[in-house]
């Protein structure tokens, strides 16, 4: 309960600071120095491309690597993972364990939609041809749904393959830097998404432990 309370408090404080612009310098720094493939004048491409393919065909090699690394966090792949987990875990442990990742996935995506629909940060800019260009995609990109889904995917993988949970955790941790480097999210977006994912993870683990005690 203390861990959960701490995570919730951290998320509330972070959300307030992001909306108030108190952390804009950090996000602006990430735009200026941590996004080598960000092209402001190329904005406006369809976001649906990331739904059915991991990267744009014209992307650089390293950009494709980062996109592939984070592709399991997409709505399509992450939904397939939690469905797969539900099928596998239902046979092993029953419905409560099986549905835990799926419930976390649904709630997490709901939080993402609400957050991006209500939280707006001050504008971030990237210089193009000597002119500051407003990166409007970052106005309402908090929290990162990809980062949140990365935590849930790692959770599902860890439940299915208990010996591989450490590798799944390492992958999820590296999703954050990859999202920033590929210009998908700012640093604070990633931190926000990680907090949402960790909150859901703690809640689900608590429910599973309670269920285990009841069965005993």
Q: pLDDT at position 87, please?
A: 96
CA distance 143 to 210: 29
Choice between 212 and 160, residue whose per-residue pLDDT is larger = 160
* The predicted structure's pLDDT at residue 1: 85
CA angle 188, 191, 196 (to 5 degrees): 125
Higher pLDDT, 196 or 1: 196
Which pLDDT does position 214 carry in this prediction?
A: 63
What is the rounded average pLDDT for all residues in the chain? 90
Classify burial at 67, counting beta carbons within 10 Å of its beta carbon; exposed 0-12, middle 13-18, buried 19 or more. buried
HSE value, Cβ hemisphere, 13 Å, CA-based, for 88 = 15
Residue 134 φ/ψ region, left for φ over 0, alpha for ψ in the -120 to 50 degree band, beta for the rest = beta
Report pLDDT digits (tens) over 22-60.
Answer: 999 999 999 999 999 888 755 544 444 445 556 666 678
Q: What is residue 14's predicted lDDT score, i.e. its pLDDT? A: 98
- 105-109 long-range contacts (CB < 8 A, ≥24 apart) are 105/78, 105/79, 105/149, 105/152, 107/200, 108/145, 108/148, 108/149, 108/152, 108/196, 108/197, 108/200, 109/75, 109/145, 109/148, 109/149
- Predicted local distance difference test score (pLDDT) of residue 129: 82
- Give me the pLDDT at residue 46, please: 41
The residue that leads in pLDDT, 194 or 129, is 194
The tens digit of pLDDT for each residue in 80-92 reads 999 999 999 999 9
């Amino acid at each position: 309960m203390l861990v959960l309370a701490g995570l919730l408090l951290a998320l509330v404080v972070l959300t307030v600071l992001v909306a108030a612009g108190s952390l804009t310098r950090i996000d602006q720094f990430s735009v200026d120095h941590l996004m080598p493939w960000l092209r402001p004048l190329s904005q406006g491409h369809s976001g649906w491309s990331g739904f059915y393919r991991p990267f744009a065909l014209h992307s650089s090699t390293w950009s494709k690597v980062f996109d592939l690394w984070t592709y399991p966090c997409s709505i399509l792949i992450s939904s397939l993972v939690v469905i797969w987990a539900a099928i596998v875990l239902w046979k092993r442990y029953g419905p409560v364990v099986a549905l835990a990742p799926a419930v976390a996935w649904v709630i997490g995506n709901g939080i993402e939609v609400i957050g991006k629909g209500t939280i707006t940060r001050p504008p971030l800019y990237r210089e193009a041809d000597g002119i500051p260009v407003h990166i409007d995609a970052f106005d309402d990109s908090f929290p990162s749904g990809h980062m949140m889904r990365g935590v849930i995917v790692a959770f599902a993988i860890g439940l299915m393959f208990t010996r591989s949970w450490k590798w799944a955790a390492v992958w999820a941790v590296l999703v954050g830097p990859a999202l920033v480097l590929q210009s998908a999210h700012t640093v604070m977006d990633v931190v926000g998404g990680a907090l949402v994912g960790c909150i859901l993870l703690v809640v689900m683990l608590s429910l599973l432990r309670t269920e285990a005690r009841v069965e005993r």
